[in-house]
Each structure stands twice: as structure tokens, then as C-alpha cells.
Structure 1
Amino acid sequence: MITYRYYESGDEKDILDLWNKSLWKDPITAKRFRNLVLLDANFDPEGMRLAFVGNKLVGCVYAVRRLLPMFGTDLEPDNGWVPFFFVDEDYRKTGVGSQLMEEAAIFLKRNGRKHMFFASYAPNYIMPGIDEDAYPEAYQFLKMQGFTKLYSPIAMDRNIIDFKISKDIEELIKQRETEGYSFSLAKDKDLYEVIQFANIKFNPDWGRAIREGILQGLPMEHILVARNGNKVVGFCIFGGYEGVPDRFGPFGVDPDEQGKGLGKILLNICLKQMKAESLHGAWFLWTGEKSSAGYLYKKTGFEITRTFHVMKKDI
């Protein structure tokens, strides 16, 4: 007999064990689960739906809605997210996943949500969306549950052992510097402006990543700042998410300043800085393949390593 309930303290080991058996490409440690889920300000035990056969956990679907604004007072009151789900291999296509997903939708509807996304939740997303290549059954399951694909971000990696800034980039840096631009490692005086720049020009999650990264020990030399005169016009970071040193990003240039190669400069200087810290690679989870950033990464030697689908269901 299958029984269903929400998370209770003490369930962590069972959840981790089934997670690591099911999500082979995205394993997790107890520390990461604690930091990304249990300590998330938006965590609500009632959103974590569990299925058991006796004392054996056979399925989990996690739903979350925003209790703490990412920026200002915006709680995104219409939106809820499913950052992850998994079902024991022996209990797939038995209705367990469908029941858990229905319970997750009821939880979100009860809290006033109209839309359910997989899996574009910030700040603590596990993956941007479903990896169809790694989890084809899960992708088909989401479609059968009424989710539709919105877009497909990509993850990219670059080995930097052979990385070297080209003469062309060096000349471009000199040219921009003669025009009043500067590219430097961050100092205390930069922090407020860079965080505000990230929040307003791009995504509040980026500003949060900078602030929380530094509070958790992110070295200042992992943050690069571009200025036009005194005005911040771009930045990039490495090691900002979960303290993983070779994880690149966030990274952005003021849209009003694009077309001048500032992103190209920041990316190249950042890769040089990463190599100087004895890192052998750079990677990130989320960009658009056909975006300007996607093209820049490809030109700089990054290769696509994963493709995800962000999916949405109206509830």
C-alpha cells in the first residue's frame, strides 16, 4: 500500500538516498541539500510531497513558492516552482509521480498560485530545467502532466589549461582604456554599485549571488568590474555559487554599452584570473544558445555540455 504525506524532520536520509539513485547526473550531498532546500527562506515542509511503501520512500516532488522577495517587495504571487522530483525506478508509471505532482499543484493553488514552473526557481535552483537526454522518462512525464516547454537554456564548459589572451584582445583592452574604460578586481568601494547594477540591469538573483557570495567568503579577486569613467558598465564573477571555484558567473554588460567588446574583455580577463588560481576549467549552467552571451562563449572556446527545458503548467 502506498501512503502519501509531506516532509517531516528525519526524512532527509531517505530523500538523499532516493535522489542519488534516481538523478544520476545531478547527485547531491547532505550539505548541499541542507543549504539549497532546508535553509532556503522559502522552504515549506508542506510543499515537499513524499510517497512511501511501508517505511520505504518511493517518490518525492518538491514545490515551493516565494515567501521572501528576491528584490523589493515582489513575491511573484502568481508563480510556484517544482525544483526537483524523482520516483523509485520500480514505481514509475504506477501513478506515484502523478499523485505527487497533483499534491504539489494543490499545495501551490491553495497558496494562490496560478502557474507552476519546472525548474526555473531562484535563488536555489538545482538545475535550470529538465535534461531530456539524461532523463527522457521524466521529460515525457512532465509533458503528460500538462507542462509545456518555454525555452531551452544550455550549460557550457571550457578547459582553460591552454587558455591565453590573444593579441587582438590585448589591443582591444588598450583601445578601450584610452577611451576611459577600466577593468579591475573589485574593492569595497565597488560593492554597492555593482550589486545595484546587477539587480537593476539584469536579475535580482545576480545581486544576491554577489552579496551572499562575499558574506560566505567569496574572495574579492573573484569579482571583475568594468567602468566607463566612474560608472559601472559590467562585471563578472567566478566561484560565486555554492563556493564552487570553477563555476563561472554571473556575468553582464550594460545593454547601452554593448557592441564595444566589453563582455569579451571581461570574459577573457576572468578566465586568465581563474587560470592564475590554478583552476583547470570554467563552467556554468544557464545561458541562451542563440543569445549574444551564448555566441561569445562559443567564440571563446566554451562547448555545450547539457541542454535543459524550462517548462510551465497553468494550474
Structure 2
Amino acid sequence: MVTYRHYEPGDERDILQLWNQSLWKDPITPKRFRHLVLLDANFDPEGMRLAFDGNRLVGVVYAVRRLLPMTGTDVERENGWIPFFFVDEAYRQRGIGTFLLREATDFLKRNGRQNLFFASYAPNYIIPGIDEESYSAGYHFLLAQGFQKLYSPVAMDRSLVDFQLTDDIKVLVDKREAEGYSFTLAADQDLYELIQFANCTFNPDWGRAIREGILQGLPLNRIIVARKEREVVGFCMFGGYEGVRERFGPFGVDPAEQGKKLGKILLHLCLQKMKAEGLHGAWFLWTGEKTSAGILYGKAGFRITRKFHVMKKDL
């Protein structure tokens, strides 16, 4: 008989084993699970629902709500997230996933949540959304449970083996510098303005990525800062997420400065810096395929490697 309960200390080994059997495209290590889940300030054992057949773990659904604000005092009291779920393949089509999701949903309802998202949880999302191609059964499960597709971000990769900083980029840099722009590696004096720029112009998760990346050992020379005279107008970085050097981003330019190809400059300078460190590739998990950023990446040689769907259900 299948029984259900929430996470208890000591469940980690079974969770990781079933995770890596079930989510073949997104395996995880004990260290990553510890950092992304157990050490998350928003982690609540009541939100991680487990199904057992005897002593055998056969299903997991994890629900989380914000306890610690990303910035200011906003804890998004109306929102909850499901960052991941999986059921042992031998136990599927028995209602286990449905029961676990109902328990996870009840947990969020008890805590006043009105909206449930898969899987756009910041800061510790595993993947941006459901990968329909790799996890078709999971995608159709979410649809059957009343989730609707909001939007579909893409992951992109670029080999750096053939990357070259071309003359047209160098000419463009010279032109912008003559107009009062600068593109420099970050230093201590940049950090406050840079983090505020990321927080206010884009979103608090980007400022967090910069701050936490540096606290965890990210060298400042992996961040390029663009200024117009003395004002920060853009930045680009790599190696900030989980210390993975090949992972590119975050990256952004002040919308008021669009049309001057500052993003193109920052992107190419950053890729050149990555290649100079001996990296053979650059990748990231999340952009809009048809957005200006997605188009810029495509022109720079990035290719789509995965597609995701961010899903939402009204509670």
C-alpha cells in the first residue's frame, strides 16, 4: 500500500536516487540538492510531499512559497511554486502524482497562496519550466491537473571553438568609447551601483546573482560593466550561477540605451573573455526566442538546445 508524508531528515539519498532515475535530462548531485533546496531560505519540509510503497520512495512533489523577500518586503503572498516533481516509472498511472500534487496544493492554500506556477521559482529554480520534448508525460500531467501554459522560454548554447572577436565589434567599441561609453571589468567601486542597476532595471534575482556569485568566489573579472560617462547602463557576466564557468549571464542593457548595440558589444566581449579563460562553450537556460535578446543571441551564433513551458494554475 502506498503511504504519504512530508520530507524528513534522512530522505535525501532516496530523493536523489529517484530524481536521477526519473529526470534523465536534469540529474542532480547531493551538493546541488543541498544548495538549491535544503539551504534555500524558503524551504519548508511540509511542502515536500513524498510517496512510499513500504520503504521504497516512489514519488515526490515539492511546493515552496516565499518566506524571505527577494528585495524590500515583498514576499509575493499570493504566489506558490512547484520547482520539480517525479514519480517512479513503475508506479505511474496509479494516481500517485495526482495525490501528491493535491497535498502540495493544499499546503500552499493553507498558506494563503492563490497562484501556482511551474517552475519559474527564483532564486533556486532547477529548470525554467516543463521540457515538453523530454518529459512529455509530465507536461500532459500538468495540463490534466488544470495548469495552463503562460510562455515558453528557451535555453541556448554556443561553441566557442570558432569564436573570434571580429573587426566590426572592435570598430563599434571604438565608436562608442569616443561617444563617452566605457566597457571595463568590474572592480569593487562598481559593485553597489551595478547591483542596484540590476535590481531596479531588471529584477532582484539578477542583483542577487551578482552578490551571491561574488560571495561564493566569482572573480570580478568575469563581470563586464558598461557606463555612459559615470552612469551604469549595462553589464554582462559568466560563472555566476552555482560557480559553473560556462554558464552565461545575467546580461542586460538599460532599455533607454537600446539601438546603440551596447548589448552586442557586451555579449561579444564576454564571449571573448570566456574563450580566453579556456572555455569551449557558453550556455544559459532562459530567454525568449523571439525577444530582442533571443535574436541577438542567434546572430552571435547561439542555437536553441531546449524549450520549456512556464505553467500556471489558479488556486
In the alignment, which residue of structure 2 is the partner of 1:305? 305
The CA deviation string for residues 68-127 of structure 1, in whole angstroms up to 9 with x for no partner, is: 000110000000000000000011110000000000100000000001000000000000
The match for 1:166 is 166
Is 2:109 the partner of 1:109? Answer: yes
Superposition RMSD in Å = 0.3
The residue aligned with 2:291 is: 291
1:243-284 superposed Cα distances (whole Å, 9 cap, x missing partner): 000000000000000110000000000000000000000000
Task: Give 3-state SS (helix, strand or coil) of 2:155's partner.
Answer: strand
> Which residue in the other structure is 1:243 paired with?
243
Cα deviations across residues 45-82 of structure 1 (Å, max 9, x unaligned)?
Answer: 00000000000000000000000000110000000000
**2:33 alignment counterpart:** 33
Distance 2:258 2:15 in 1: 45
Q: Which amino acid is the alignment partner of residue 306 of structure 1?
A: R
Provide the identity percentage: 73
Q: Which runs of 5+ in 2 are unaligned?
A: none
Separation of aligned partners in 2, 1:167 and 1:242: 34
Counterpart for residue 96 of structure 2: 96
User: Could you tell me which amino acid in structure 2 is paired with residue 221 of structure 1?
Assistant: N
Q: Does 1:275 align with 2:295?
A: no
Once residues 270 and 169 of structure 1 are traced to their aligned partners in structure 2, the CA distance between those partners, rounded to angstroms, is 12
Q: How far apart, in 2, do the equivalents of 1:258 and 1:62 lie?
A: 40
Counterpart mapping for 1:79-228 below 5 A: 79-228=79-228
Equivalents in 1 of 2:152, 2:17: separation in Å? Answer: 29
Report the Cα distance in structure 1 between the residues aligned to 2:186 and 2:216, rounded to whole angstroms.
16
Partner Cα separation in structure 1 for residue 92 and residue 202 of structure 2: 40
Measured after TM superposition, the shift of residue 168 of structure 1 is: 1.1
1:34-53 correspondence to structure 2 within 5 Å: 34-53=34-53
CA distance in 2, matches of 1:45, 1:259: 48
User: 2:283 and 2:102 mapped to 1: Cα distance?
Assistant: 35
Residues 13-48 of structure 1 show CA distances to partners (whole Å, capped at 9, x for unaligned) of 000000000000000000000000000000000000
Query: How far off is 1:161 after superposition?
Result: 1.0
**TM-score scaled by length of structure 1:** 1.00
The residue type paired with residue 51 of structure 2 is: A
Q: 2:234 aligns to what?
A: 234
AA in 1 matched with 2:26: D
Other-structure match for 1:253: 253
Cα-to-partner distance string for 1:204-257 (whole Å, 9 max, x where unaligned): 000000000000000011000000000000001100000000000000000000
Q: 1:23 and 2:23 equivalent?
A: yes
AA aligned to 1:156 is M
